[in-house]
Amino acid sequence: MIAVGLVLCLGCYFVVRRLARGWLGVRGVRTLSRRAEESYFQTPPARRLSWRLAGPAATYALAVALAFSMLRANGAPAPTTTIAPLPGGAAEAAGLRAGDRIVAIDGVAPNDWPDVGRLVSMAGPGRAVTLSVLRDGAPLSFPVTTSAERRIGVRPVFPPPVAPPVGPTLGRAALLPFTASANTALTLARQATGQEKVELAGPVGIAREARVMQASSSAGERFVLMLLAYPIALVWPIVPLIELLLTPRRPPA
């Protein structure tokens, strides 16, 4: 996974740095070398600065574009109280069906799936709760007894995710090249000190993320975008470091 990010980052950095050197007319320096001739230092400072920023800026823009595409493709899950009974559970035994939408639990209306879990849990173990549902537009009520774990044996049915707003999504995408590396570094530090056991983003983590996505015709597209966006966001900070290491210097006299 990290190798994918390295290839994308370094490939984009090298190509753009080389092209920008020609576009800006920067002479006396090689694409990937620290040594520069005197003609380089006679080039206007604005052009030299533009050339040095071109590689990191283009790589960052690629990381943000991939992250934005991934976040938009994943979509934002819409709140739901629509359920599907689990086989052999109390809800199935009580007569609930897949597609029933819960409108009240003991007279209290839930706003989303976490609300459903909270209201059922508040009833306590082995207690009867009244579920008011809509089935094909018709209101129905079912008494359901909670289990010892304060559950009634249902799972949520989410509608297809909707595309999130462009502005907030672009903001999240712009931060991802920084937050991905920072979060990974913190996780490594916690693992090294034994404070936490968290699996880092990798093939297994990516596959898990893909499994929890809503099934749709674009699932493959979202998986590919995730497989590209996370690696480049993870290793992007290496590009500014390389640029610093390649700071042109005059040859020794």
Taking the domains of the chain in order of start, what are their residue ranges?
Answer: 2-77+161-245, 83-156
Per-residue pLDDT, averaged over 49-55, amounts to 95
Note the Cα 115 to chain centre separation in Å: 24
Query: Is 49's pLDDT higher than 90?
Result: yes
Percent of the chain with pLDDT over 70: 85
- Torsion over CA: 106, 107, 112, 115 (sign): negative
Q: Decide if 61 contacts 221 (C-beta within 8 A).
A: no
The pLDDT, as a whole number, for residue 1 is 63
Query: Is 216's pLDDT higher than 60?
Result: no
- Torsion over CA: 31, 14, 47, 35 (sign): negative
Dihedral in degrees, nearest 10, Cα atoms 152, 157, 158, 159: -150
| 80 three-state secondary structure | coil
Per-residue pLDDT, averaged over 111-118, amounts to 92
Task: Give residue for tokens 């936490």.
Answer: 196
Q: The sheet that has 101-105: what strands, in order across it? A: 101-105, 128-135, 138-145
Query: Is 131's pLDDT higher than 70?
Result: yes
Task: Give the tens place of pLDDT for each residue, 53-94.
Answer: 999 999 999 999 988 988 887 777 778 999 999 999 999 999
Task: Give the tens place of pLDDT for each residue, 184-213.
Answer: 777 767 767 766 554 444 444 444 444 443
Spell out the CATH class of 83-156.
mainly beta
